[in-house]
Amino acid sequence: MPVDLIRIVSRDSPMALAQVERVRAELAALHPAVRTEVIPVKTTGDKWMGDLSRVEGKGAFTKEVDAALLAGEADLAVHCVKDIPADRPLPAGTMFAAFLKRDDIRDALVDTAGRTLDELPAGTRIGTSSVRRSAQLAASHPHLQCVPMRGNANRRLDKLAAGEADALLLAVSGLQRIGRTDVVSEILPVETMMPPIGAGVLALQCREDDTDTIETVSDLGDPDTHRETLAERMFLHVLQGHCNSPIAGFARAGRGGELSLRACVFTPDGKTVLNAHEWAGRLDPATLGTSVAVALLRQGARDLIDSIAH
Ligand SMILES: NCc1[nH]cc(CCC(=O)O)c1CC(=O)O
């Protein structure tokens, strides 16, 4: 039975609310009779500006949103896949109903003087708390210096303007969502800055017994994004990666539907980089994710991941 109202819960950052607007627009196009309501909530990750590993890092951006969904205060949660823990199952009683068509997966350099990464002088302070970003930067541009920076993308841009760093690394998709691609000075190729698992993908999560809502929103799903996301999340699950892991990678669905998954694990100083790249047919994303994870474990990934606090 079609539903007539869907209450959507999400973080309350400008980026998260823009994501909800995309979901509402796509829903309105496919199901014009369905009304929507937005329920913004603050998550632990939004409130705590210290090291994420100190606040049970796992699920810091999703816990309160999932709680509202499970309590029946909302019918649909919108999450960045990147922020959903993969080392354990989704909260019991919830499931993914759809993954929206993937956005740009790359990171961008934001430099107020408009320079590229190669043009930045030694000692330039790059604002990022991400081990993934700082390790890769240490590998390719060891003369640059990373300084810790947290907060939603708008706040980071404010901190940059206030002089807390000289430049930032931020996801292109996030900047597009908040309407700030004007600040991008260079889009980094994935060879220089491999994206995080789930980059640029939005997940729609429902209560598993709410078949009416699941049926309604599942029409928004994109099949290629779905397979890519399953492969990437299975990869991260097998590696038991956490939010602060030095792990990067991405799957790509080819024209014929075949999937490839490239991934790496590195030391924080970027001096050791483990690499794996495998292909699979269109119907087996989970095996592909498992296989790439096992290839990296055989190369010693376990020690690299476990050496970082979480
Ligand atoms: N940790 C915050 C976060 N979660 C998802 C994105 C980017 C958007 C996406 O990949 O869906 C960002 C911002 C950033 O990393 O610059």
Amino acid letter for position 10: S
97 plus 204 within the same structural domain:
yes
The answer to whether 135 and 267 are in contact (CB under 8 A) is yes
Ligand 1 site, residue 177, Cβ cutoff 6 A: no
Element containing residue 14 per DSSP (H, E): helix 14-30
Domain co-membership, 10 together with 97: yes
* Ligand 1 touching residue 186 (CB < 6 A): no
Same domain, 10 and 96: yes
pLDDT one-digit tens code per residue, 33-45:
999 999 999 988 7
ipTM, interface predicted TM-score of the complex: 0.91
Span 290-308, mean pLDDT?
Answer: 95
pLDDT, one tens digit per residue, over 194-215 is 999 999 999 999 999 999 999 9
By percentage, how much of the chain surpasses pLDDT 70? Answer: 96
Q: Of 105, 107, 245, which Cα lies nearest the Cα of 169? A: 107
Beta strands in 148-193 (DSSP E): 167-171, 186-187
Residue 53 has pLDDT above 70, yes or no: no
- Is 97 found in the same domain as 9? yes
Q: 155 and 130 share a domain?
A: yes
8 Å CB contact between 66 and 38: no
Q: Based on the domain organization, do 139 and 209 belong to the same domain? A: no
What residues pair up with 306 in beta bridges, in sequence order? none
What pLDDT digit, counting tens, does each position of 110-147 carry? Answer: 999 999 999 999 999 999 999 999 999 999 999 999 99
Tell me, using a 6 A CB cutoff, whether residue 86 lines ligand 1.
no
Examine the pLDDT at 55 and tell me if it is beyond 70.
no
Same domain, yes or no: 157 and 48: no
Distance of CA 22 from the midpoint of ligand 1 (Å): 16
171 lines ligand 1 (CB under 6 A): yes
The CATH number of the domain holding residue 302 is 3.30.160.40
Cα 121 to ligand 1 centre (Å):
27
How buried is 6 (Cβ within 10 angstroms: 0-12 exposed, 13-18 middle, 19+ buried)? buried
**Angle, alpha carbons 58-59-62 (nearest 5°):** 170
Task: State if residue 82 touches ligand 1 by the CB under 6 angstroms criterion.
Answer: yes
- Report which protein residue has its CA nearest ligand 1's atom 15: 171
Residue nearest to atom 9 of ligand 1 (CA): 200
Ligand 1 site, residue 199, Cβ cutoff 6 A? yes
Determine the pLDDT at residue 283: 78
Residue 17 belongs to a domain: yes
Q: Under 8 Å CB-to-CB from 55, ≥6 apart: which residues?
A: 44, 45, 48
Per the listing, tokens 């014929």 go with 256
Domain encompassing residue 246: 234-306
Same domain, 136 and 177: yes
Q: 92 and 12, same structural domain?
A: yes
Check if 83 is active-site. yes
| pTM (whole model) above 0.90 | yes
- Of the residues 66, 75, 83, 166, only one is catalytic, namely 83
Which residue's CA is the closest to the ligand 1 atom numbered 1? Answer: 83
Please check whether residue 210 lies inside any domain of the structure: yes
- Number of domains the chain contains: 3
Q: Whose Cα sits closest to atom 6 in ligand 1? A: 174
Backbone φ and ψ for 18, nearest 5 degrees, come out as -65, -35
Which H or E element spans position 21?
helix 14-30
Which two structure tokens, joined as six digits, stand for 161? 């303007």
Look at residue 147 and tell me if it is in a domain: yes
- Decide if 33 is inside a domain: yes
What's the burial of 53, exposed, middle or buried (CB within 10 Å: 0-12/13-18/19+)?
A: middle
Domain of residue 139, CATH code: 3.40.190.10
Q: How far is 236 from 85, CA to CA, in rounded Å?
A: 9
Task: Give the CA angle between residues 98, 103, 108 to the nearest 5°.
Answer: 145
Q: Does residue 97 share a domain with residue 12? A: yes
Encode pLDDT of 246-274 as tens digits: 999 999 999 888 999 999 999 999 999 99
